[in-house]
Amino acid sequence: MKQAADNILSIIKGYDLSRAIPDIRRYGIRTFLRKAVAELTRGTRHELLSQPVSPERSQWRKDYLAMSKMIEDVCALAIQKQVKPVSSIKVGDNEIEDRIPGLTPDKNDRPLVSIIIPVYNNIRSTVECLLSIRKYKGETSFEIIVVDDCSTDDTSKVLSSVKNLKYLRNTESLGFVPTCNRGAEAAEGKYLLFLTSSAQVTAGWLDELVKTFEDNENVGAAGPRILYPDGRLKEAGSLIQKDGSAVFIGNGDSPGLPRYNYAREADYCSGVCLLVEAERFRALRGFDPEFAPDCADADLCLKLRDAGLRIMYNPKSVIVHHPSVTSGSVEGAYKMRSARAKLALKWRNEIDSLNSTRLIAFYLPQFHPFPENDLWWGKGFTEWTNVSKAKPNFTGHYQPHLPADLGFYDLRVEEVMVEQAKLAKSYGIYGFCFYYYWFGGKRLLEMPIERMLKTNKPDIPFCLCWSNENWTRRWDGKENEVLVGQKHSDEDDKAVILDIIRYMRHHNYIRISGKPLFLVYRPGLFPDIRRTIGIWRELCRKEGIGEIYLSMVGSFENAGAYACPSEYGFDSSVEFPPHGMATPCKMPGQSLNHEYAGTVSDYRSLALNYVKQDLPGYTRFRGVVPSWDNTPRRQNDPLVFINSSPGPYEAWLEFTVRQTREQNFGGERIVFINAWNEWAEGAHLEPDRLFGRGYLEATRSALDRA
């Protein structure tokens, strides 16, 4: 017990308190405390055991904290980007009566939208809100319904005199949710638009929200991009965390970043400004008072989602929220105890699903002999041949990487993949992405996945990535010393997709919204990739597969280019570290190889380079690499990343999972890890003799904490 207590104290002492302020600002004090406790316990379960913490694990913990701090500093610096204050309407207290004539909305006998504004006091902000609606009325017909929850200021006097405005006053104080529902009862529009009185709208705001329903299928609710008056982003859709609390996506960030400027699904959009169909709203019995006041909007969105509808964020619609006046508004006046626990209990399965991020690890199947390798490299050649003979190039250089738990396995033994899958799933890996090798009708390294089709073992989700480059003697896919090359043509395009369809039919094949996921490693090598993709999609429909989900890997010429995948016919792209992001540094030790001409880079700099990248305005799956050192393949001129350990990797992965949770939705919440078993490139989650299961434990911990 004493040892366990000492370990707990050492963990608490190791917590970096400088991280507290940014986290409190981001999550709020209660969520911050919950996360801090989780970090000090769940994320370090192995440290609470009776045996002492090993020096290695203690160092990994320090590495994790240091890397986390560097990531937070980079993110904080990015948020400080210059933003311009938003122009807002300002009305003085002595100007309110003079502004009454300007509040009158157009008379519409058959409005398309009913704008419902619940109010309590703060007549000035209500007047400013109404003036902004009048100023930016757009093309959409609407009516305005203001429901007064027994204000004690001049609200009744002012609003009751505004023509064409439906002003309703509660006979007794009902609270926020019943006040909204009462407004809905009086509404005549096809759509209901709930708007807080502390908001001001901008040009085109309502037209764009309505278009969300018109331009997309199965929309249940839509919300705008919400800004603070100083120009910072307040909300680009919202997340629901496992405890029922909310996170506003992009809160405090620059609203002009590409990641916030394309329409996408969200867990929910807040009631600050929310558009729903009136018929649907009434069928679901409106906002549930059980979740008043701060979770009723989330509950409504979850009910809509349960009915098979989507919640859409539309950045083309913009409003400005003045939270400083909210304390006197209906939200503040009728603040009740948090309904988060009730929300989490009612929607436990749905919320758990929303918080799920799939980790997919690339898998190299070159760990068994086959005739071509026997011919090219010598009898019995496998990946282990190069791995085992690697030597350190400088003092402190970790080589060779030798396997631990699974040993020098041979994939011809069926039990190997079963054990790999079991190990991967136990540490949070959702599935494998197997490299697929096809050369004009000739397949290589197909034995492991062919056996999987026949035996259904191992039982793990999987997808394929076509490594569509030439197979060369230098392992670089270039034209020199080609051993077997690609032969692109329409007929080859048809043949390869027909072969891949066999895998897509497997019950374990990974899908996104029902569509089989297929990756292409180097799309730039095709003579006409759009034509190829057209052939693939047509054949998949014809063969009964239906629509497929295609993703282009950001390797080689695509690394760092971030070309929009839709321009090539793809649905998304996949980040592929460390390609294109290495920052050379000085060799840390004395040279041990007089022929050495390689490149040394710092793993921590690599992680920060990826963290700094602004997310694009399309779906990109982020990637993480645990470590990298391809000395086994290029003894004299490798790329070596120093200062890699489970600690920095865990911090990078945690950030990436959290960002993916914010940016992507549903089946697109995927992070790729490079790789499960790229031993000859020093990129492997599989246990080795130096780190043991350290990288796997870091994977599980990062997934839990994020």
DSSP 563-585: --GGGGT-SEEEE-TTTT---B-
- Residue 26 confidence (pLDDT): 46
Residue ranges in the chain modelled with pLDDT below 50:
1, 4, 7-8, 10-19, 21-22, 25-27, 39-51, 326-337, 476-478
Integer CA distances (angstroms), 692 to 44, 159, 455, 684, 689, in order: 16, 70, 30, 11, 6
Q: Are 255 and 84 in contact (CB under 8 A)?
A: no
- Residue 346 confidence (pLDDT): 96
Count of alpha carbons within 13 angstroms of residue 173, beta-carbon side: 12
Chain centroid to CA 383: 33
Burial 170-203 (b: 16+ CB within 10 A, else e): beeebbbbbbbbbbbeebebebbbbbbbbbbbbe
Q: Measured at the alpha carbon of residue 483, what is the angle toward residues 478 and 484, in degrees to the nearest 5?
A: 90
User: Where do we find the tokens 């990109």?
Assistant: 620
Integer CA distances (angstroms), 457 to 408, 461, 669, 676, 686, in order: 20, 11, 26, 17, 19
How far apart CA 665 and CA 659 sit, in angstroms, is 11
- The set of residues, in sequence order, having a beta carbon less than 8 Å from that of 501 and lying 6+ positions away, is 539, 540, 543, 545
DSSP structure class, residue 195? E
How far apart CA 461 and CA 506 sit, in angstroms, is 10
Bond before 458 cis per omega within 30 degrees: yes
Q: Are 577 and 674 in contact (CB under 8 A)?
A: yes
Q: Are 684 and 384 in contact (CB under 8 A)?
A: no
Structure token digits, residue 454: 């026949």
Q: Is the dihedral of CA 273, 274, 278, 282 positive or negative?
A: negative
Run of H or E residues at 278: helix 278-283
Instruction: Break the chain into its structural domains and give their ranges.
Output: 2-79, 95-354, 396-583+604-633+642-705
- Residue 49 confidence (pLDDT): 34
Count of alpha carbons within 13 angstroms of residue 108, beta-carbon side: 21
Query: What CATH number is given for 396-583+604-633+642-705 in this structure?
Result: 3.20.20.80
281: left (phi over 0), alpha (psi -120 to 50) or beta: alpha
How far apart CA 292 and CA 297 sit, in angstroms, is 9
DSSP structure class, residue 613? S
> Top-level CATH class of 95-354?
alpha beta
CA-based R_g, the chain, Å: 29
Q: Measured at the alpha carbon of residue 357, what is the angle toward residues 352 and 361, in degrees to the nearest 5?
A: 145
How far apart CA 421 and CA 404 sit, in angstroms, is 16
Supply the pTM of this predicted model.
Answer: 0.89
Run of H or E residues at 493: helix 490-504
- β-strands 310-321, 264-265 pairing: antiparallel
Bond before 648 cis per omega within 30 degrees: no
- β-strands 431-439, 358-363 pairing: parallel
Count of alpha carbons within 13 angstroms of residue 226, beta-carbon side: 25
In this structure, what are the phi and psi dihedrals at residue 225, rounded to the nearest 5 degrees? -80, 125
